[in-house]
């Protein structure tokens, strides 16, 4: 499976998400992937001795070690919320391992579920059954704060210089979805940010989560804001994050679906989302 990016960007995230950024987003949007009318049966897990979640320690804000060396993060709190919803909290365990050891740990029976950013693909579906996605990463535009650009973006960006990382899925998506824009390709994200902040670009297009952390951080100097979107495009951006389990434990994936829906309907997911992503990327 493909490891999520652990570039220098992620090394700064753990500090950034704690920032006070309410002024940037007055009414944050919360992702919701569930039909309120849908009813999922609650699987019987009385015969399950324990549920061992495996994750990593180097993917903030999803999973990382805090100042006291305690494992924490969005994935950790989400797993605990799932266990509470399924009434199996005493039987739940969460363990962190190096990324390259996760597959072998599951295969050898050292764990029951991966909540670590495992990509959902044809290859990984041969190894695992997956819950439904609990978080997708939309593409977003950001523009300078004084810009009047809004939807419909396919018209609004006509002729505009839009920065994008070259060779990325977002470049391909920008050229396909917004052909009237004028892509300006960068090899480094920090160079793109600098150009936008300095007014050399009309906007930028990329991963909403990364852009949200930049907007929340000091590097943006409060120059910019989201505009339009969010844009969910699985054909370019993948299916999002889901919990992976061995095929012989597929009942756990069904149980996680039930819990994820209930958590969403009760507002628990929203609380976790805003705690770790205070500038919503939706």
Taking 80 as the threshold, does the pLDDT of residue 89 lie above it?
Answer: yes
266/161 same-domain check: no
Do 96 and 194 have their domain in common?
no
What single DSSP character describes residue 217? Answer: S
Helix (H, G, I), strand (E, B) or coil at 202: coil
241 secondary structure, DSSP code? B
Say which range, 2-11, 39-48, 85-94, 213-222, has the weakest mean pLDDT: 2-11
Residues 51 and 147 in one domain: no
Q: Could you tell me the residue range of the domain that residue 34 belongs to? A: 8-136+239-276
State the Cα–Cα distance between residues 241 and 225, nearest whole angstrom: 25
Scanning the structure block, which residue is given the tokens 């324990």? 50
Stretch 73-86: mean pLDDT:
98
* Local structure of 129: helix, strand or coil: strand
Same domain, 93 and 152: no
Q: What is the DSSP string of 132-201?
A: PPSB---EEEEEETT----S-HHHHTTT-EEEEETTSHHHHHHHHH-TTSEEEEES-HHHHHHHHHTTSS
Structural domain contains residue 43: yes
Q: What is the pLDDT of residue 17?
A: 40
- What is the CB-side half-sphere exposure of residue 110 using CA atoms within 13 A? 13
Q: 82 and 150, same structural domain?
A: no
Q: Using the predicted structure, report yes or no on whether residue 7 has a pLDDT greater than 50.
A: no
Let me know if residue 2 belongs to a domain.
no
Q: How far apart are CA 211 and CA 188, in angstroms?
A: 14
Residue 3 lies in a domain: no
Of the candidates 259, 245, 265, 281, which has an alpha carbon nearest to the alpha carbon of residue 78? 259
Residues 101 and 197 in one domain: no
Q: Is the pLDDT of residue 14 over 60?
A: no
- pLDDT at res. 28: 72
Distance between the two ends of the chain, CA-based, in angstroms?
A: 27
Average pLDDT, the chain: 91
Q: CA 272, CA 85: separation in Å to the nearest integer?
A: 15
Contact 270, 30 (CB under 8 A): yes
Q: Give Cα 70 distance to the centre of its chain.
A: 22
How far apart are alpha carbons 5 and 139 in whole angstroms?
A: 16
Give a yes or no: residue 53 inside a domain: yes
Rounded distance between C-alpha atoms, residue 77 and residue 102, angstroms: 19
Which of 263, 228, 245 lies closest to 154 in space, CA to CA?
A: 228
273 neighbors 57 (Cβ within 8 angstroms): no
Average pLDDT, stretch 242-246?
98
pLDDT at 20: 36
The answer to the question of residue 281 being in a domain is: no
**131 and 265: one domain?**
yes
Would you say residue 12 has pLDDT above 70?
no
Tell whether 162 and 260 lie within a shared domain: no
User: Do residues 132 and 143 share a domain?
Assistant: no
pLDDT of 18 above 80: no
For 110-124, the pLDDT digits (tens) are: 999 999 989 899 999
Please report the sign of the dihedral spanned by the C-alpha atoms of residue 195, residue 199, residue 202, residue 203: positive
The CATH number covering residue 119 comes to: 3.40.190.10
Residues 98 and 193 both lie in one domain: no
Q: What are the pLDDT digits (tens) for 123-166?
A: 999 999 999 999 999 999 999 999 999 999 999 999 999 999 99
Answer yes or no: is 1 within a domain.
no
**Percent with pLDDT over 90 in the chain:** 87
Residue 42 lies in a domain: yes
Choose among 261, 262, 263: nearest CA to 272: 263
Q: Decide if 94 is inside a domain.
A: yes
25 and 99 in a common domain: yes
Side by side, the strands of the sheet bearing 71-72 are 58-59, 63-65, 71-72
**Residue 134 corresponds to which tokens in the numbers above?**
């609990």
- Same domain for 68 and 187, yes or no, is no
Q: Model pTM?
A: 0.86
Mean pLDDT value of segment 17-42: 70
> Structurally, how many domains does the chain consist of?
2
């Amino acid at each position: 499976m493909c490891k999520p990016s652990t570039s220098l960007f992620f090394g700064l995230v753990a500090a950034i998400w704690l920032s006070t950024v309410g002024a940037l987003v007055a009414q944050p949007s919360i992702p919701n992937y569930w039909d309120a009318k849908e009813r999922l049966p609650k699987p019987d897990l009385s015969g399950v001795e324990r549920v061992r979640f495996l994750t990593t320690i180097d993917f903030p804000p999803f999973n990382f070690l805090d100042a006291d060396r305690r494992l924490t993060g969005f994935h950790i709190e989400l797993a605990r919320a799932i266990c509470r919803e399924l009434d199996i909290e005493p039987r739940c365990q969460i363990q962190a391992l190096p990324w390259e050891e996760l597959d072998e740990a599951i295969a050898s029976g050292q764990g029951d579920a991966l909540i670590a950013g495992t990509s959902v693909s044809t290859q990984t579906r041969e190894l695992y059954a997956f819950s439904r996605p609990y978080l997708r990463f939309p593409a977003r535009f950001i523009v300078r704060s004084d810009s009047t650009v809004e939807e419909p973006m396919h018209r609004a960006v006509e002729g505009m210089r839009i920065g994008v990382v070259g060779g990325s899925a977002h470049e391909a998506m920008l050229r396909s979805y917004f052909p009237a824009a004028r892509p300006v390709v960068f090899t480094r994200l920090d160079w793109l940010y600098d150009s936008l902040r300095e007014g050399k670009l009309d906007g930028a297009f990329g991963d909403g989560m990364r852009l949200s952390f930049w907007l929340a951080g000091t590097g943006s100097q409060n120059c910019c804001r989201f505009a339009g979107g969010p844009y969910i495009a699985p054909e370019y951006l993948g299916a999002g994050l889901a919990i992976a389990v061995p095929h012989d434990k597929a009942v756990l994936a069904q149980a996680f679906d039930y819990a994820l829906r209930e958590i969403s309907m009760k507002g628990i997911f929203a609380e976790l989302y805003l705690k770790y992503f205070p500038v919503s990327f939706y």
